[in-house]
Amino acid sequence: MNLENMDEIWGLPVCCNSRNSIIENFTLSDKYKDQVYSISYKDNIVLKFDDIVDSDDFNLKLFDNKIDFEGQIPLVLYSSDLDSLLEAEENISFKLKKIEQNENYSESILKEFDKLEENSSYYEFSDYVNYCNEFLLVRVSFKDNSLIIDADVDKIVLLKKIISENFYISADNIIINAFNDYCIASLFPISFNAVLQGVVLATRLKRRVNIVYYKRHFLISEDLKLKFSAVNCLSVENKLSKIILDVEINRPLNFLYKFYFKYLKHIFNNLFFDLNVHINFIELKSDVVFFYDNHFLFETSVYNFIYSNFYNLAVNFSIDPISYLLVHIKEEYDVFLKFFEQIDCKNSIMRKSSSISLNNTYGILDTKRKGIGFSFLDLDSIFFGSRKVISMSLHKNKLDVFIPYKILDYNLMNYLKNTLSRDFDLSYDSVCFFVSDAFTDNIGYGEFIKESYFIEMAILTVKDNLSLMIGGSFKGEYPVMIEQDFVLNTDTKFRIACSLEIDIEIYSFKVTFSNVTFFVEHGKIDRIGLNNKRAFSVFNLAANYVFGKINYNIDDSLIFDFVEEGTHFFSFRALFIASVAAIRTALIQAFDFNLSRTPVEIEDVLNRWSIRIDTN
Q: Is the dihedral of CA 545, 549, 550, 556 positive or negative?
A: positive
**pLDDT for 211 beyond 90:** yes
How confident is the model at residue 362, as a pLDDT?
A: 64
The architecture CATH gives domain 383-487 = 2-Layer Sandwich (3.30)
Q: What percent of the chain has pLDDT over 90?
A: 40
Query: Backbone phi, then psi, for 264, in 5-degree steps?
Result: -60, -45
How confident is the model at residue 596, as a pLDDT?
A: 75
For residues 402 and 450, the model is more confident at 402
Instruction: Give the CA angle between residues 60, 253, 437 to the nearest 5°.
Output: 80
Indicate the average pLDDT of the chain.
Answer: 83
Beta bridge partners, 37, equal 78
> 289-336, pLDDT tens digit by residue?
999 888 888 989 999 999 999 999 998 888 999 999 988 998 877 777
Instruction: Please return the burial class of 20, using the count of CB atoms within 10 Å of its CB with bins 0-12, 13-18 and 19+.
Output: middle
Q: What percent of the chain has pLDDT over 70?
A: 84
How confident is the model at residue 210, as a pLDDT?
A: 97
In angstroms, the CA 121 to CA 325 distance is 17
Mean pLDDT of 78-107: 82
For residues 439 and 516, the model is more confident at 516
CATH assignment of 222-381+492-615, given 3.40.630.30, 3.30.365.10, 1.10.1060.10, 1.10.287.3510? 3.30.365.10
Q: What is the DSSP string of 446-461?
A: GGT---HHHHHHHHHH
How confident is the model at residue 472, as a pLDDT?
A: 74
Provide the 10 A C-beta neighbour count for residue 270.
13
**pLDDT for 377 beyond 80:** yes
Closest CA to 559 of 590, 530, 583: 530
How confident is the model at residue 470, as a pLDDT?
A: 87
- Per-residue pLDDT band for 5 (boundaries 50, 70, 90) equals very low
Phi-psi region of 16 (alpha: psi -120 to 50; beta: other; left: phi over 0): beta
Domain ranges for the chain, please list them: 3-99+184-217, 222-381+492-615, 383-487
Q: Are the C-beta atoms of residues 398 and 479 closer than 8 Å to each other?
A: no
Closest CA to 179 of 407, 13, 397: 407
pTM for the predicted model, two decimal places: 0.87
**pLDDT for 175 beyond 60:** yes
**pLDDT for 27 beyond 70:** yes
How confident is the model at residue 19, as a pLDDT?
A: 81
- The string over 174-201, giving b where at least 16 C-beta atoms fall within 10 Å of a residue's C-beta and e elsewhere, is bebebebeebbbbbbbbbbbbbbbbbbb
Q: Are the C-beta atoms of residues 551 and 510 closer than 8 Å to each other?
A: yes
How confident is the model at residue 134, as a pLDDT?
A: 82
The architecture CATH gives domain 3-99+184-217 = Alpha-Beta Complex (3.90)
Closest CA to 303 of 511, 570, 598: 598
- Per-residue pLDDT band for 105 (boundaries 50, 70, 90) equals very low
Closest CA to 126 of 609, 602, 605, 601: 601
At what angle are helices 257-269 and 295-316 packed, to 10 degrees? 40
Report residue 589 CA to chain centroid gap. Answer: 27
Highest mean pLDDT among 206-215, 314-323, 360-369: 206-215
In angstroms, the CA 578 to CA 374 distance is 8
Mean pLDDT of 53-73: 91
Q: Among 108-122, 214-228, 265-279, 444-458, which stretch is predicted with the lowest mean pLDDT? A: 108-122
Numbers of helices and strands, H then E, in the chain = 15, 26
Closest CA to 291 of 262, 260, 255, 263: 255
Give residues with Cβ within 8 angstroms of 143, minimum separation 6: none
Q: Among 89-98, 164-173, 181-190, which stretch is predicted with the lowest mean pLDDT? A: 181-190
**pLDDT for 345 beyond 90:** no
Beta bridge partners, 598, equal 125
What is the amino acid identity at position 13? P
Identify whether 252 is preceded by a cis peptide bond (ω within 30 of 0): no
Mean pLDDT of 381-396: 77
Q: Are the C-beta atoms of residues 557 and 532 closer than 8 Å to each other?
A: yes
How confident is the model at residue 184, as a pLDDT?
A: 46
Instruction: Please return the burial class of 441, using the count of CB atoms within 10 Å of its CB with bins 0-12, 13-18 and 19+.
Output: middle
Which helix or strand (DSSP H or E) is residue 81 part of? none
What is the amino acid identity at position 161? K
- Per-residue pLDDT band for 104 (boundaries 50, 70, 90) equals very low
In angstroms, the CA 84 to CA 39 distance is 16
How confident is the model at residue 2, as a pLDDT?
A: 45
Closest CA to 47 of 161, 204, 205: 161
Q: Among 165-179, 307-321, 407-421, which stretch is predicted with the lowest mean pLDDT? A: 407-421
E strand residue ranges, 235-269: 240-249
Beta bridge partners, 178, equal 151
Mean pLDDT of 378-403: 81
Query: Backbone phi, then psi, for 352, in 5-degree steps?
Result: -65, -45
- Per-residue pLDDT band for 127 (boundaries 50, 70, 90) equals confident
Mean pLDDT of 464-491: 82
Q: What is the DSSP string of 431-447?
A: EEEEE----SSPSSGGG
Tell me whether domains 222-381+492-615 and 383-487 share a fold: yes
Q: Among 5-14, 140-149, 196-205, 272-281, which stretch is predicted with the lowest mean pLDDT? A: 5-14
In angstroms, the CA 311 to CA 516 distance is 19
